[in-house]
Amino acid sequence: MENKKVLLGMSGGVDSSVSAMLLKEKGYEVIGATLELYAENNNLESNSILEVKNICSSIGIPHYIYNCKEEFRKNIIQDFIECYLNCKTPNPCIECNKHMKFGFMWEKAKQLGCNYIATGHYAKTEYNKKYCRWVLKKSNAGKKDQSYVLWNIPKELIEHILFPLSNFENKDQIREIARNYNLKVANKPDSEDICFIPDGNYKKFLEKNSDIKPMNGNIVNSKGEILGKHTGLYNYTVGQRKGLGISYKVPLFVLGFNKTKNEVIVGEEKELYKKEILVRDINLLLVEEIKDWLEVKVKTRYSAKSAKARIIQEENDIKVIFDEPQRAITPGQSAVFYIDDIVLGGGKIK
């Protein structure tokens, strides 16, 4: 008899709450789990946990709270700081998915005798006969699809992951289900901020929680000519135009950084486009390695459209050659590779 016991990550939002209802409807034995992640979010987390407890109580499922603050600090916050120290732009949600939601939580699920874990992500898992394995796929949610932030999960875990929202096309459908079940979170707004920086001010967070402090330096063009002064490399990102404080004959954009010389490098928009990139820290979900050139589509940030490219593995990296040059590719962000709607894998842009 199949083990239909599932540990569901619940944040107090509408997505995970509706996920609980949908799983229960399908006959799963659902256990709610909330991860306490960040020490300074105590009030926010306490409110969310109370909401989750009330939801779990109303639908008749148990609820566990796990203190993960030390693991979160070590694996997510420290990585976030290290990226900015090295002039890279991180995506902490991707690290959180790897280490916490699909790492720590799977370990807890096994301890509870669960065969599955579930989240309210808009993504899909299914068995694929062509590849003879379980695959991670895009959901039906279009622009809200979240498969991009899941490339770094362990591939052996895919067959144990349930995404109850995989076939819904938009958030309005989820909110309607929540209203039908009289869930109080039906109209709760989406959280767009990084969970440990609720005010969105990452610069203030870095200054408070690391050795990163304002340090003036030169803004230069690609020829090395000094055009102005900057207030600290962490205050800028590739593709940025506003806030440079430079008067020039044409609009200028941040192209990159010279950490050794403490320089922000700027240039014209045409200089932002790249045809080739290297991707490190790769995680392949569909194949063991890429021995020959492979045609794929690549997303270089969550909000970007996928672009046609060819990829090949070079030792520990993947080389990507785009059919058309891509704008403002940013070191530290993820490049995620798709074959049709299946996630082949991904990595961090060098």
Q: Which residues are catalytic?
A: 96, 195
Q: Under 8 Å CB-to-CB from 299, ≥6 apart: which residues? A: 148, 305, 306, 307, 335, 336, 338
Q: Cβ distance 76 to 95 under 8 Å?
A: yes
Residue 30 sits at the vertex; the CA angle it makes with 53 and 156, to the nearest 5 degrees, is 120
Q: Cβ distance 79 to 137 under 8 Å?
A: no
Nearest-angstrom CA–CA distance, 99 and 103: 5
To the nearest 10 degrees (0 to 180), the angle between helices 42-59 and 14-25 is 20
Q: Under 8 Å CB-to-CB from 12, ≥6 apart: which residues? A: 34, 47, 48, 49, 51, 52, 55, 185, 188
Tokens of residue 63, six digits? 């609820």
